[in-house]
């Protein structure tokens, strides 16, 4: 088993590292302070291929696998967690359209999504359908050659500032088998957006509620067939969990790098903090847990790429572990900075705020434990 990156992956890593250093890192604090959604930089990311990483080449994407994408997202997250997290959402939108849309819809949408001319949001969560996403109540009714969508979504990243929405709506009976997926132009008549939610972190991307009031879309904007939407959503979530776990790893690595540098510069009792054994041990534990998290994320990504039957459970384990470790590492880095870590002049407090939501979205970590436990209890050879 080879744990080293191949030549192509190292090239992807270096390209993403350079983009993060030149385009994301210098502006991340400003975007956070002013709650600026950096569309111009996102379009530059699209020109680099970072908005269509696993979209097939015939649809304008790079056609990479999930492990390749994880290598890239980790480097981008070191520049700006919040902006990179939005890129992962847009990538899921691009992938779903390229994978499941009709030929006509793909022709209309994929070229613009792949290059970043259009930005996409993913609309699954509702006020009363979060962890229990299969209970969503937004409805889509077929009327002749179009569908009419009514309902509301909550906590939608990019909403109000993006160009295209992927919307999960009920076309059939209660439960997951009655859910379908649709492409919806973000400016369609009947769509309204709530206020920009004031959030603890992720300030560089807006989060709003979205209301659909008899929104009409052509029938060919249906993804796949009626009743397949929840299946598509679950396929997307496995990759989404790898992505958000990766964002935690990248952010935590940046926090660790900053803490290590600070320990060599900051002096107390006449010597650098790096000379105190108790703090050395803390740094060692942070690094060890972070390496373990990275390896689990990449292992889960490789299982997803191979279509391993245990991929869903491993994606859940990776998401649970890496987001918990990522937050813990950022928390300890802030502690090592002391009082300086708590003020906005230094980036540590932003890293701390930005990774906290990773333990909630793409399925809470409690839900991740439920997925893992059910798999173990249903099969005594599972995960071996």
| Burial class of residue 15, CB neighbours in 10 A (0-12, 13-18, 19+) | middle
SS3 of residue 19 by DSSP: helix
Q: In this structure, how many other beta carbons lie within 10 angstroms of the beta carbon of residue 364?
A: 16
Quickly count helices (H) and strands (E) in the chain.
11, 10
Distance CA 308, CA 317 (A): 15
- Alpha helices, H only, 20-102: 28-34, 39-48, 66-79, 81-100
Q: How far apart are CA 5 and CA 9, in angstroms?
A: 6
Inter-residue contact 79 to 24 (CB < 8 Å): yes
Is 289 tagged catalytic? Answer: no
Choosing from 74, 289, 349, 362, which is the catalytic residue?
Answer: 362
**Residue 284 contacts residue 361 (beta carbons within 8 Å):** no
Q: Residues with catalytic annotation? A: 362
């Amino acid at each position: 088993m080879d744990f080293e990156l191949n030549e192509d992956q190292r090239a992807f890593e270096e390209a993403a590292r350079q983009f993060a250093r030149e385009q994301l890192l210098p502006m991340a604090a400003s975007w956070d302070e002013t709650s600026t959604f950096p569309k111009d930089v996102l379009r530059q990311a699209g020109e680099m291929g970072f908005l269509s990483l696993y979209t097939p080449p015939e649809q304008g994407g790079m056609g990479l696998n999930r492990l390749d994408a994880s290598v890239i997202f980790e480097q981008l997250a070191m520049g700006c967690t919040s902006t990179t997290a939005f890129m992962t959402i847009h990538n899921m939108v691009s992938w779903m359209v390229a994978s499941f849309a009709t030929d006509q819809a793909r022709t209309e949408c994929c070229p613009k999504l792949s290059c970043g001319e259009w930005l996409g949001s993913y609309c699954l969560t509702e006020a009363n359908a979060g962890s229990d996403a299969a209970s969503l109540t937004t409805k889509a009714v077929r009327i002749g050659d179009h569908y009419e969508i009514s309902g509301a979504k909550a906590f939608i990243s990019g909403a109000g500032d993006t160009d295209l929405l992927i919307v999960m709506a009920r076309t059939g009976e209660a439960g997951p088998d009655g859910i379908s997926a649709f492409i919806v132009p973000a400016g369609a008549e009947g769509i309204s957006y709530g206020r920009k939610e004031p959030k603890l972190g992720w300030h560089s991307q807006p989060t709003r509620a979205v209301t659909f009031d008899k929104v009409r879309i052509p029938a060919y904007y249906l993804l796949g067939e009626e009743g397949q939407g929840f299946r598509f959503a679950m396929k997307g979530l496995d990759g989404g969990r790898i992505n958000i776990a990766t964002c935690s790893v990248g952010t935590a690595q940046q926090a660790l790098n900053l803490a290590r540098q600070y320990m060599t510069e900051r002096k107390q009792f006449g010597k650098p903090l790096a000379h105190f054994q108790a703090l050395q041990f803390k740094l060692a534990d942070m690094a060890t847990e972070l390496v373990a998290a990275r390896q689990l994320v990449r292992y889960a990504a490789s299982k997803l790429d191979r279509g391993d039957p245990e991929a869903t459970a491993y994606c859940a384990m990776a998401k649970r572990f890496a987001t918990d470790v990522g937050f813990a590492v950022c928390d300890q880095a802030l502690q090592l900075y002391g009082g300086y870590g708590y003020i906005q002049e230094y980036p540590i407090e932003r890293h701390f705020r930005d990774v906290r939501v990773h333990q909630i979205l793409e399925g809470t970590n409690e839900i991740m434990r439920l997925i893992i436990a059910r798999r173990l209890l249903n099969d005594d050879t599972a995960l071996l």
